[in-house]
Amino acid sequence: MTAPRDALSVLEHDFLETRCKILEVAAALDRIDRAPAHQGDPPDPRLGLLRQGIEALLEPGPGRAETIQRIFSLAYDPDWARNLNVAIRGGRSR
């Protein structure tokens, strides 16, 4: 088993890729802001989710990826297979 890398090693390895991803997010938000709005449409809840995700990035400490995954995830539905008309192996049918 290899020892975990120290913070400086992680930063040296991941800095450029992470910077690129941040620029991609900024560009997407710029495109949204520049696009004309549809009159009378309610605000799209996805934009709120993006803002929540960005705010979660600013929180210190580990666990941001899990927090952001939860922001963008649906609550568990125990009847998901039936609701989505999915056949489950072992006898349950569509």
Is 60 exceeded by the pLDDT of residue 16? Answer: yes
pLDDT of residue 91: 56
Is 70 exceeded by the pLDDT of residue 86? Answer: yes
Listed as own residue / partner, the contacts of 84-87 with beta carbons closer than 8 Å and 24 or more positions apart are: none
pLDDT of residue 93: 46
Mean pLDDT of 49-71: 95
Mean pLDDT of 27-54: 91
Q: Which two tokens stand for residue 21?
A: 């991803």
**Alpha carbon distance 80, 71 (integer Å):** 19
% residues pLDDT > 90 (the chain): 65
Is 70 exceeded by the pLDDT of residue 68? Answer: yes
Contacts of 87 (CB under 8 A, 6+ apart): 81, 93, 94
